[in-house]
Structure 1
């Protein structure tokens, strides 16, 4: 994780449209906000931000590995002792189908490279960003397992 952790914790709730993914104490959270990377620790100033597709890391145990999630987008609300992630879609890195994510990446790249008016370029870019974020979550999870 790119951010430091402390002994203190905050309540972290991560919920997607499919249901809750995590609810418990965390020492730190790193997540991709619309305007850049965000590092959240206990006592953080109140914040409301849109989340872009990316990988979220959070630490629940000072001596353990980071938890790694793929987040497709959503909303982040930060209060000094409570952080809520309302994700459109969220998945643990270990639960992502790598072959399917690679196929989604290839399809998005093809759509971006197509000529013509029937292509929604913005949607193809978003699809590519989501696929790349899923693949990054898979990669980080695999690296973590090898240690």
Structure 2
């Protein structure tokens, strides 16, 4: 379907390593990127960007908002169509808070230990993901 300049939506796919999290039309999306969140609206300029763990919000075609806690990944937005590739995407209401707290504690402990710089960055990413999951899940308690 050809997209006209007057249309107020764009095509969007959010693909996690284990599932297609979202496929459809969106009015807007807010993405966690280095330096802070980015809002993407219809007819945004073409881009490729790196995503960091955090909360992504999609305003769907009908105006309802969908949130997802995403891991690191990337977004490609070309010709009024977005594709997001992430390791994981979760609905905040589905997050097991106890498990997320345990993952946070493990990541904090690993960061306290003296390890290689690569392990430090991996543990820092794990901590960031756990904290994002906990923050999003707290809205649904």
Q: Tell me the TM-score normalised to structure 2 length.
A: 0.85
Unaligned runs of 5+ in 1: 1-6
CA RMSD of aligned residues (A): 1.9
Unaligned runs of 5+ in 2: 1-6
Q: Secondary structure at the match of 1:42?
A: coil
Q: What's 2:122 paired with?
A: 123
The structural deviation recorded for 1:139 is: 2.2
Runs (4 or more) in structure 1 with deviation over 2 Å come to 116-120
Q: What's 2:134 paired with?
A: 135
The structural deviation recorded for 1:90 is: 1.1
Q: Secondary structure at the match of 1:132?
A: helix
Q: What's 1:20 paired with?
A: 20
Q: Give the distance between the partners of 1:78 and 1:25, measured in 2 at CA.
A: 13
1:51 is aligned to 2:51: yes
Q: Give the distance between the partners of 1:118 and 1:97, measured in 2 at CA.
A: 30
How many residue pairs end up in the alignment? 133
> 1:42 touches 1:80 (CA, 8 Å); kept in 2?
no
The structural deviation recorded for 1:71 is: 0.7
The structural deviation recorded for 1:79 is: 2.1
The structural deviation recorded for 1:118 is: 6.8
The structural deviation recorded for 1:33 is: 1.6
Q: Secondary structure at the match of 1:27?
A: strand
